[in-house]
Chain A
Amino acid sequence: MAEHQIPQRQSPLEPDYRVGSHGDFEHGVDVILTETRPGSILQLAAWPGEEKMLMSAIRAITGLALPDGAGGGATDGARAAFGFAPGRFTVVDETEGLAASFARVVTPAIGTVTDLSHGRTAIRIAGPKAEWVLAKLFAIDFALSAFPLGAGRSTTHHDVFTQIQRTGADQFDMYVFRSFARSFWKTLCHASEEVGYEVQ
Chain B
Amino acid sequence: MLITCPYCGPRDVIEFTYQGDGNRERPNPASQDLEAWNAYVYDRLNPAGDHNEIWQHSGGCRAHLRMVRNTLTHEISSVAFVRGAAANTKSGGKP
Contacts and interface: CB of A to CB of B under 8 A. Distances in A.
Given A48-B83, A85-B63, A86-B63, A154 B8 contact: yes
Contact of B9 (A70, A72, A87): A70
A161 interface: yes
A71 interface: yes
A18 B52 CA distance: 51
B90 A86 contact: no
Contact of A85 (B9, B11, B14, B61): B61
B59 A86 contact: no
B65 to A, nearest CB: 11
A139 B85 contact: no
Interface string B58-94: 0111110000000000000000010101111110000
A153 interface: yes
Nearest to B84: A48
A70 B83 CA distance: 16
B12 interface: yes
A46 to B, nearest CB: 8
B42 to A, nearest CB: 31
Contact of A139 (B12, B62, B87, B89): B12
A70 B95 CA distance: 13
B25 interface: no
B88 A87 contact: yes
Contacts of B87: 48-49, 51, 86-87
A48 B87 CA distance: 7
A112 interface: no
Interface of B: 7-9, 11-12, 14-15, 59-63, 81, 83, 85-90
Given A49-B87, A85-B7, A156-B15, 12 more contacts: A48-B85, A51-B87, A83-B88, A85-B61, A87-B88, A88-B61, A139-B11, A140-B11, A154-B8, A154-B61, A154-B62, A155-B60
